[in-house]
Amino acid sequence: MLRTVLFSPANDPKKAAKAMISGADAVTLDLEDAVAYSQKEAARDLLKEILRLPPPVKLFVRVNSAGSRYILDDLEEVVGLPVDGLMVAKAESAGDMEKIDWLLRLLEEKKGLPPGKMRLIPFIESPGGIIRAPEIASSTPRVAALAFGGVDFSQEIGLRYPAESEGLLFARSQLVLASRCAGIDPPLDTVFPDIKNVEKLESEAELARKLGFQGKLVVHPAQVEPVNRVFTPGREEIDYARKVVAAFEEAEKSGVAVIQVDGKMVEYPIVRRSKEILKLYDK
């Protein structure tokens, strides 16, 4: 699970180095919006320089959209680098992801790489993308999760984000449900652009957590710790999960599948969630 994914321009090695030691669960080096059109080629060269050595954290690269003039060059340069996957900007349809999948298969074959290894995180940032999220999520086995581009989406539908973030409720819920139906990981919530407003950042992260997101995209190292804290279960929750699993396993031996723990009903779905919490966070 990824609580925080920190964005950093692919053409700034100093920022990339700081991002990788920020405490974020993953870093995304951006070849899209963070790079001026005139600097795309130089950014790809700098990306290769940054990744001369394997990164110390999970690392993704955001490539330009499937319909852009830059996508083929992006993929040719990135395939074979030590990255965990690609974020695909402005994913609009299953066709976009199928196009990327086809290009990746050709490049993997050309470079002698295992087919299908490169995972994809479509970046959903338009009304069309939100409506078609279910088909995007299930378009190819490469899709690992969805990411929400709430800033662009807000502008398209006339919201003043983050002040009017309640208007994103349907879009966020659509991504969670689409992900669950496709059997992929929960989605990643949108970046929060007001870097100094930690209180609002935390409330946005808490809302995303309650809706079913696995974590949040962040744009500054200062945002990493607050978001990690929101998406990490507290000691009390972890202790309760341990108690649930132990009590249920004991009851199950007697053929009982519904019990009470601390006055709360516990059955199989609760136990499954408790086991997930322990697997991820009971270190």
Domain extent listing, the chain = 4-231, 235-281
DSSP code at position 226: H
Q: Does domain 4-231 have CATH number 3.20.20.60?
A: yes
Q: Are 182 and 141 in contact (CB under 8 A)?
A: no
Tell me the pLDDT of the chain (283 aa) as tens digits.
899 999 999 999 999 999 999 999 999 999 999 999 999 999 999 999 999 989 999 999 999 999 999 999 999 999 999 999 999 999 999 999 999 999 999 999 999 999 999 999 999 999 999 999 999 999 999 999 999 999 999 999 999 888 788 999 999 999 999 999 999 999 999 999 999 999 999 999 999 999 999 999 999 999 999 999 999 987 888 888 888 888 888 888 888 888 888 888 988 888 888 888 888 776 6
Sequence-distant contacts of 99-104: CB under 8 A, at least 24 apart? 99/66, 100/66, 100/71, 100/75, 100/140, 100/142, 101/139, 101/140, 101/142, 103/71, 103/72, 103/75, 104/75, 104/79, 104/142
Tokens of 46: 């700098």
Overall pTM surpassing 0.85 (yes/no): yes
Closest of 48, 43, 3, 1 to residue 22, by C-alpha: 3
